[in-house]
Amino acid sequence: MSTPSKSIAILGGGISGLTCALRLAQAGHRVTIFEGSDQLGGLGTFFEHAGRTFEKFYHCTLPSDGPLLRTLEALGIRDEVYWRPTTFAYAHAGKFFPLNTAVDLLKFAPLRFLDRIRVGITGLVGRLVSDKGLDDVTTVSWLTQLSGKNAFAKFWKPMLEAKFGDRYHDVPALWFWTRFNREKGESKGEQKGYIRGGYKRITDTFAEVITRHGGQIHLNTTVTGIDLDAEGRTTVTTSTGASAFDQMVITLPTPQVEKLIGPAMKAKMPALDTSTDYQGVINHLLFLKRPLTSHYWVATPQSEHPFDGVVETSTLTDVADRGARHVVYLTKYLHRSDSRFAQPDADVRRDWTAALQKLFPDLTANDIEADYIFRAPFVEPIYRLGQKKLCPPEELVPGTVFLANTAQVYPIVTSWNGSVSQAEKTLAAMGVKVEASQAKSSVQAASKTSKVAMTPAVA
């Protein structure tokens, strides 16, 4: 190692924090992770049910997730990822319409024939045009121009609302373009990947390798303050006291960072953009004794459903990872201030189960082995026009305080892959280069492929 070993505090033990800690520890630095909860993995964290672990929020990887897959390779578990073809369907008026090929789209009865053609053209154009200038055009105007007003109102708008609520108006077309190309970037048809042993396998391996390189991991250790001391070193305050480090990497969502920053640090750093807010999410997870559909994802964006999607992850995961049960996540993006976000679990359980039974009238209470409800308040930044300029910098205080969080991931999709990509940019700003057998970034990989099949990938 050419640079001297530094002590570095990593705030947050999600995938961003773990990636930074791994690479810094491998580069010979002394890292300490501070994680407020009792687990590593952040939004990809898990719980136990009947002797197995499951993600609290559905998670999968895509073949175009180059930086993430490269990291799994560095951890020695890349070969543990298995892949399956997966499909998408759209629920409308009690029917399920598969939307995976151009023929599916031509048969998509909820839209007039002309609108189906225009949605198809939108897919083709989205695949062929470059992303240049799309940060300054709204998704609304871009999609309306390509698909027409009617198709926008009936098809795209409900899916945008499903993701961003009533704040979808300002979301740049670049977000849509990237998302669309990420999920449709495979010439072999849609494929998703999962890892043997679940996402816990990934975080456990990170922990093992980081610890082997001398890193320290403090769980149940919420950071309550950060600042600079008189010598310009960073200080981290937790319930057990304060400690000083040469450097710090912050990986918490921006709204959670601002309130921690002390006056000396604040005086030395650029103002963080506080105007980028986050959507939260509720997931109602059901373990079923029978499958619902053969689709990984059924979009249910119409307002009659309390959730926006039915994600049947057991269409992807091996029996060894879930037992004989079928695993379904009902998902709803909501702002944390929305009264529905704080609805008691019993009400969510009652209302969402009833709505699911309306969609699947054969589903009985006996088919449900167990269910769980999970919420996360800070998941998806709510993007606005010109978002690229709003993304905070990697270096907050020169040479000392660095940031690697979801507010910077744009326009890459908010995902483990996006966080690894961002962490690598932050590491580069710290002078640590990630070895490059370099798989392509998700955006590059996606933009070079040319599958014509057309399905929406907003939810």
Ligand X SMILES: Cc1cc2nc3c(=O)[nH]c(=O)nc-3n(C[C@H](O)[C@H](O)[C@H](O)COP(=O)(O)OP(=O)(O)OC[C@H]3O[C@@H](n4cnc5c(N)ncnc54)[C@H](O)[C@@H]3O)c2cc1C
Rule CB under 6 A: which residues touch ligand X?
11-17, 34-37, 42-44, 57-60, 222-223, 251-253, 256, 281, 283, 331, 376, 379, 405-406, 414-417, 419
Cα(55)–Cα(44) distance, rounded to whole angstroms?
Answer: 6
Nearer to ligand X, 177 or 416 (CB): 416
Residue 307: which of 358, 355, 239, 273 has the closest Cα?
A: 355
Q: By CB neighbour count within 10 A (0-12 exposed, 13-18 middle, 19+ buried), where does 342 fall?
A: exposed
* Least separation in angstroms between CB 120 and ligand X: 26
Return the number of the residue (138 or 178) whose C-beta is nearest ligand X.
178
Residue 183 vs residues 1, 79, 162, 362, 384: alpha-carbon distances, Å: 38, 21, 17, 31, 22
Minimum gap (Å) between residue 82 Cβ and ligand X: 15
Residue nearest to ligand X (CB): 42
- For residues 146 and 252, which CB has a smaller minimum distance to ligand X in the complex? 252
- Measured from the CB atom, is 59 or 92 closer to ligand X? 59
347: CB partners within 8 A, 6+ apart: none
With beta carbons less than 8 A apart as the criterion, state whether 227 and 265 touch: yes
Considering the complex, state which of residue 119 and residue 423 has its C-beta at the smaller distance from ligand X: 423
By beta-carbon proximity to ligand X, the closer residue of 119 and 439 is: 439
How near is the Cβ of 362 to ligand X at its closest, in Å? 26
What's the min distance (Å) between Cβ of 371 and ligand X?
A: 16
Smallest distance from the beta carbon of 124 to ligand X, in angstroms? 26
Q: Which residue has the tokens 């167990």?
A: 370
Between 236 and 432, CB nearer to ligand X: 236
The C-alpha angle 97, 99, 103, rounded to 5 degrees, equals 100
CA atoms of 299 and 96, how far apart (whole Å)? 9
CB of 125 to ligand X, least distance (A): 26
Return the SS3 of 210: helix
CB of 207 to ligand X, least distance (A): 13
The span from the CA of 355 to the CA of 304, in Å, is 8
CA distance 363 to 254: 41
How big is the CA angle at 308 (ends 304 and 312), to the nearest 5 degrees? 120
Q: What are phi and psi of 98, to 5 degrees?
A: -60, 145
- Residue type, position 1, single letter: M
Q: Which residues on neighbouring strands pair with residue 138, listed in sequence order?
A: 172
Kindly tell me which of 140 and 159 has the beta carbon lying closer to ligand X. 159
Residues 6+ apart with CB under 8 A from 155: 110, 111, 115, 119, 147, 456
User: Minimum distance from CB of 58 to ligand X (Å)?
Assistant: 5
In terms of CB distance, is 138 or 313 closer to ligand X? 313
Q: How far is the CB of 331 from ligand X (least distance, A)?
A: 6
Tokens linked to 313: 């992850």
Half-sphere exposure of 214 (CA within 13 A, CB side): 12
Q: How many CB atoms lie within 10 A of CB 131?
A: 16
Least separation in angstroms between residue 17's CB and ligand X is 6
Name which of 235 and 415 has its Cβ closer to ligand X. Answer: 415
Distance CA 185, CA 265 (A): 42
